[in-house]
Amino acid sequence: MTCDEAKILLHALLDNELDAGHAREIEAHIASCPACAAELAAQREMQRVLADTNLRYTAPDRLRARIEASLPQPQRQPSRRSVLRGFAMGSAVSALAASGVVAVVLRQDDQQRILSEVVSAHLRSLQAGHLTDVISTDQHTVKPWFNGKLDVAPPVIDLTAQGFTLVGGRLDYIDARAIGAVVYRRRQHVINLFVSQTSNIEYRAPKTETMQGFNCRRWGNRGLNFWAVSDLGADELTEFVDKFEAAMKVNVEG
Partner 1 sequence: MPGTDDLQKAERFREAALPYLDDVYTLARYLLRDASDAEDAVQECYLRALKHFDSYRGPAMKPWLFAILRNVCNAEYARRAHSHAAIEDTPGAAEQTPMWQETEASPETEVLRSRDAGAIRKLIDALAEPFKETFVLREINNLSYREIAEAVGAPVGTVMSRLARARAMLRAAWMAGEEHSR
Q: Which stretch binds partner 1 (CB under 8 A): 57-65, 135-143, 158-166, 199-207?
A: 57-65
Candidate list 20, 55, 88, 128; residue touching partner 1; CB under 8 A: 55
Strand 214-221 with 204-211, pairing: antiparallel
Distances (CA, A) of 210 to 100, 229, 240: 20, 9, 16
Other C-beta atoms closer than 10 Å to the C-beta of 185 total 17
Question: Which of 173/203 has CB closer to partner 1?
Answer: 173
Q: Return the H-helix or E-strand segment holding 120.
A: helix 109-126
State the nearest-atom distance from the C-beta of 176 to partner 1, in Å: 15
- Shortest Cβ 67–partner 1 spacing (Å): 5
DSSP state of 29: H
Cα 134–214–175 angle (5° rounding)?
60
CA dist 47 → 14, 44, 53 (Å): 9, 5, 10
User: Least Å distance between CB 171 and partner 1?
Assistant: 23
Write the interaction track for partner 1 spanning residues 95-114; mark x where CB under 8 A is met and - where it is not.
------x---x---------
Which of 2, 8, 32, 253 is the binder for partner 1 (CB under 8 A)?
8
Residues that bind partner 1 (CB under 8 A): 4, 7-12, 15, 17, 35, 38-39, 41-43, 45-47, 49-50, 52-60, 62-64, 66-68, 70-75, 101, 105, 116, 123, 209-213
